[in-house]
Chains A and B, each alone.
Chain A
Amino acid sequence: MSEHRRLRIFRGTRGSGALQEYGLEAGEGMVVLDAVHKIQAEQAPDLAVRWNCKAGKCGSCSAEINGRPRLMCMTRLSDYPAGEPITVTPMKAFPLIRDLVTDVSWNYEVNKRIPAFKPRAPDAPDGTWRMYQYEVERPQEFRKCIECFLCQDVCHVLRAHEKHAEFMGPAFLVRAAVYEMHPLDEEDRRSYLREQGGIGYCNITKCCTEVCPESITITDNAIIPLKERVVDANYDPLAALWRKLTG
């Protein structure tokens, strides 16, 4: 059982390119990535697309489908009206390499700068720790992040204002939150988040949360608590007085 579908895919390199329309016979249950692969195998062998797991677990095949940041492997063709073409374009917040592939290396540079995990001394004589399920569940939510960078793509601070140099973006606020809320961690990342991470740029529009394919509550559970910690450290009048008194 197949039906004819049309896809408009961005083809081009830095500075030049256009949407190109392809038609294909789509089988039952086909996702956008399958359609792109079929076009690649049969019509456009040099169509550049990045992918790995095809199961929503690796976060490689990020793109914009009818303008919305999504994973191509988790988006079914049947979610879109049959008669209309589906438009697939690369993520806008990162420099284009070719076709649907963007240069996301900046994200890896940002991650490298986050102060590393620093555990407290072990709890037991055998060098192990004790942590309870209720304690680990909070950072475990952030660990679901598959580094698809769709939240970075949708974030207006990066997408529209291009503050890549000053703002780490929601994905890496989530990463910092893993460690900040890790029951064993003793590192203090608050001044990092404020000064280098630019956490103040986030004005909690929650666009990141809406596009997260892992349904991480990025704004409410990661960013807002981090903002509160930063505020407590820097703007708490009692703490400021205490710092003044104790030097």
Chain B
Amino acid sequence: MASADIQTHDYDVVVIGAGGAGLRAAIEAAARGAKVGLICKSLLGKAHTVMAEGGAAAALGTVVDQDNWRVHFRDTMRGGKMHNNWRMAQIHAQEAPDRIRELEAWGALFDRTPDGRINQRPFGGHTHARLAHVGDRTGLEMIRVLQDKAVHSGVAVHMECTVITVPVVGGRAAGALAYYRETGRFVLFRAGAVVLATGGIGKGWQVTSNSWEYTGDGHVLAYEAGAELIDMEFVQFHPTGMVWPPGVRGILVTEGVRGEGGVLQNARGERFMFRYVPEMFKGDFAETEREADAWVTEDRAKNRRPPELLTRDVVAKAIVKEIQEGRGTPHGGVFLDIAAKRPADFIKQKLPSMYHQFKELAGVDITREPMEIGPTTHYVMGGVKVDAETQMSTVPGLFAVGEVGGGMHGANRLGGNSLSDLLVFGRRAGLSAAEFAAQRGPAPAVPGADVDAATQAALAPFARTDGENPFAVQAALQDVMQRHAGIVRDRPGLEQALTQLARLNDAARRATVSGSREYNPGWHTALDLRSLLAVAEMTVRAALERKESRGGHTRSDHPDSDPKVERQQVVVKRDGDRMTVRWEAQPALPADLAKLIKEGA
């Protein structure tokens, strides 16, 4: 098919991805008068935001009135092990409350405080109860509100449409070339500005909370367009995923279980988290079970938080250690118990979907018995390097927001900071993209030869008669990453991963598919392999480079944090066909913010 026959659409702003960040960006761009096209890989409303359970962090101060942006900023930076882009962390903490209140104005129905305001729940790493929530289905509420707001804002939605390249013409992003899953036909979106809001990379690991979509598409579209990426070694392994039965392994169990009083126990019945409080947080957490229990059910001002509410990196590593040292459960996890701490009615009201999920999938009644859980690949802190104010990448006209953007969360993201990140920076990205498109006008036309080359490459797997099964290549990749680039890494393992990834790259180039172009998952998987393999390589190369342990990146051969690289980032960039990595220093914190971190807010 020649480029001349391809369906085309013209927009001021094209947003790729329709989770919280993409929807919020699309709404804002439309509000600024831009003609907006929203492309989603799945149906509208199915993006991963829908899976977010616990809540959105914002210092509303409705439950604890001492809370304010400074405390939230400090928590975020400390949780990120001081590696965050400080300006993003500041903007996020300052603007999150307005973004949450705005959702209420658009119809969101958050759980309430007794005096009728938005209720907030405690979560890991947050000093105060800070998560606006709706039971344990906050993401579903958020995506529905944004979805309805977007369709009533005149945003044109292209569903089940996968982008394969973002052409760069005349030094700026010029749109997106995609295919519709239903027909397998290609479509060219021409645009003055492009917003990537494609989410994460979690499908690269075997045990993951992520769905088929999270193959790092946006990371790799940006990479191929010549943008810089940062922090790709920092992958978050959520401490609590389901471990049994095998088919559900990795499915998320919300941190809200611990926020509402759930405790972690090893197979001997010990509440082990008391033994894992890091130096940085000494004194901030309860030291006895009695104090922790009193915080849950009695006075929060007089008692300190349970150590189960430490940050995710700390809890995940503690669980791994317990299991490695032989104190795990028969299915290779630990126990998470809320039944012992809260009455059945409370659990069903606050954690209804967890109740449902365990009952249906594992035959476990969480109001009566403990859950068996273990770490699961959840989120990538790294991503496209962006300007803190505008979310623009190093490629003019190309913006990145949400999980595909890098910097905001440093070396470890706090629970609840993702939903608020999507809103705060989604709005900013939409605003900046609309302004960019208005100022610069339409991008230059994409040369037909480039379109033809991209579509021919995409169709190549159909022409091969004997080659690799794309599902088998994907499974092999997940095995490599799980084995060598999981929670604990070392140099020999990472080097081995690089060798195996090279071999899998060759296999992916020989991937073959049968059948037609209409809704053909074999073909879709073959195409996704390209981005999945590229992000895997980014993670492995950056992980090799960072010879220390920090947040989500743990090296058994370099177990300590190295203060010298606290504010140093590994930058990944394409140089021809070669992936390059280099170190770059982040700007230091301004004196007032540094003081705030040191002395408390």
Q: Kindly report which residue of chain A lies nearest to residue B523, judged by CB atoms.
A: A46
Name the contact of B159 in the complex, choosing from A105, A119, A131, A179 (C-beta under 8 A). Answer: A105
Tell whether, in the assembled complex, residue A41 and residue B252 are in contact, meaning their CB atoms are under 8 Å apart. Answer: no
Chain B residues within 8 Å of A, Cβ to Cβ: 42-48, 50-51, 101, 104-107, 109-112, 115-117, 134-135, 137, 140-141, 144, 148, 151-152, 157, 159, 182, 211-213, 244-248, 251-252, 353, 356-357, 360-362, 469-472, 475, 513-516, 518-523, 525
For residue A188, CB closer than 8 A to chain B, the reply is no
A34 to chain B, nearest CB (A): 4
Name the contact of A49 in the complex, choosing from B159, B182, B353, B521 (C-beta under 8 A). Answer: B521
Contact A52-B116, Cβ < 8 Å, known A28-B246, A128-B101: no
Tell whether, in the assembled complex, residue B356 and residue A131 are in contact, meaning their CB atoms are under 8 Å apart. Answer: no
Tell me the complex Cα distance, A128–B58, Å. Answer: 15
Given contacts A52-B50, A128-B104, A129-B104, 5 further A-B contacts (CB under 8 A): A31-B361, A58-B50, A119-B107, A127-B101, A130-B117
Q: Kindly report which residue of chain A lies nearest to residue B353, judged by CB atoms.
A: A57
B417 to chain A, nearest CB (A): 20
A residues in contact with B152, CB < 8 Å: 112, 116
Per-residue CB proximity of A103-114 to B under 8 Å, as 1/0? 111001001100
Tell whether, in the assembled complex, residue B105 and residue A31 are in contact, meaning their CB atoms are under 8 Å apart. Answer: no
A residues in contact with B110, CB < 8 Å: 136
A178 to chain B, nearest CB (A): 8
What are 15 of the A-B contact pairs (CB < 8 Å)? A30-B245, A45-B520, A45-B522, A46-B522, A51-B211, A54-B248, A55-B248, A58-B45, A74-B360, A104-B43, A108-B43, A117-B148, A119-B107, A130-B116, A147-B45
Q: Kindly report which residue of chain A lies nearest to residue B252, judged by CB atoms.
A: A55
Tell whether, in the assembled complex, residue B245 and residue A28 are in contact, meaning their CB atoms are under 8 Å apart. Answer: yes
**Interface footprint category on A:** 35 or more
Tell whether, in the assembled complex, residue B157 and residue A108 are in contact, meaning their CB atoms are under 8 Å apart. Answer: yes
Tell me the complex Cα distance, A203–B521, Å. Answer: 40
B residues in contact with A40, CB < 8 Å: 471, 521-522
A residues in contact with B107, CB < 8 Å: 117, 119, 178-179, 182, 184-185
Comparing A137-145, A159-167, A192-200, A228-236, the segment that makes contact with chain B is: A137-145
The DSSP consensus for interface residues of chain A is loop
Tell whether, in the assembled complex, residue A144 and residue B357 are in contact, meaning their CB atoms are under 8 Å apart. Answer: no
Tell me the complex Cα distance, A192–B45, Å. Answer: 24
Name the contact of A46 in the complex, choosing from B42, B48, B513 (C-beta under 8 A). Answer: B513
Tell me the complex Cα distance, A105–B45, Å. Answer: 12
A residues in contact with B252, CB < 8 Å: 55
Tell whether, in the assembled complex, residue A131 and residue B471 are in contact, meaning their CB atoms are under 8 Å apart. Answer: no
Tell me the complex Cα distance, A101–B251, Å. Answer: 24
B94 to chain A, nearest CB (A): 16
Contact A31-B247, Cβ < 8 Å, known A45-B521, A48-B520, A98-B518: yes
3 residue pairs, one from A and one from B, having the closest CB atoms:
A29-B245, A46-B515, A45-B522
Tell whether, in the assembled complex, residue B469 and residue A29 are in contact, meaning their CB atoms are under 8 Å apart. Answer: no
B residues in contact with A185, CB < 8 Å: 107
For residue A207, CB closer than 8 A to chain B, the reply is no
Tell whether, in the assembled complex, residue A55 and residue B251 are in contact, meaning their CB atoms are under 8 Å apart. Answer: yes
Tell whether, in the assembled complex, residue A41 and residue B246 are in contact, meaning their CB atoms are under 8 Å apart. Answer: no
Q: Which A17-56 residues have C-beta < 8 A from chain B?
A: 27-31, 34, 40-42, 45-56
Tell me the complex Cα distance, A30–B362, Å. Answer: 10
Tell whether, in the assembled complex, residue A128 and residue B117 are in contact, meaning their CB atoms are under 8 Å apart. Answer: yes
B residues in contact with A56, CB < 8 Å: 353, 356-357, 360
Tell whether, in the assembled complex, residue A98 and residue B519 are in contact, meaning their CB atoms are under 8 Å apart. Answer: yes
Name the contact of B42 in the complex, choosing from A31, A34, A60 (C-beta under 8 A). Answer: A60
Name the contact of A111 in the complex, choosing from B148, B245, B247 (C-beta under 8 A). Answer: B148
Tell whether, in the assembled complex, residue A139 and residue B140 are in contact, meaning their CB atoms are under 8 Å apart. Answer: no
Q: Kindly report which residue of chain B lies nearest to residue A45, judged by CB atoms.
A: B522
Contact A132-B246, Cβ < 8 Å, known A45-B513, A46-B513, A112-B151: no
Name the contact of B516 in the complex, choosing from A34, A46, A51, A128 (C-beta under 8 A). Answer: A46
Tell whether, in the assembled complex, residue A53 and residue B51 are in contact, meaning their CB atoms are under 8 Å apart. Answer: yes
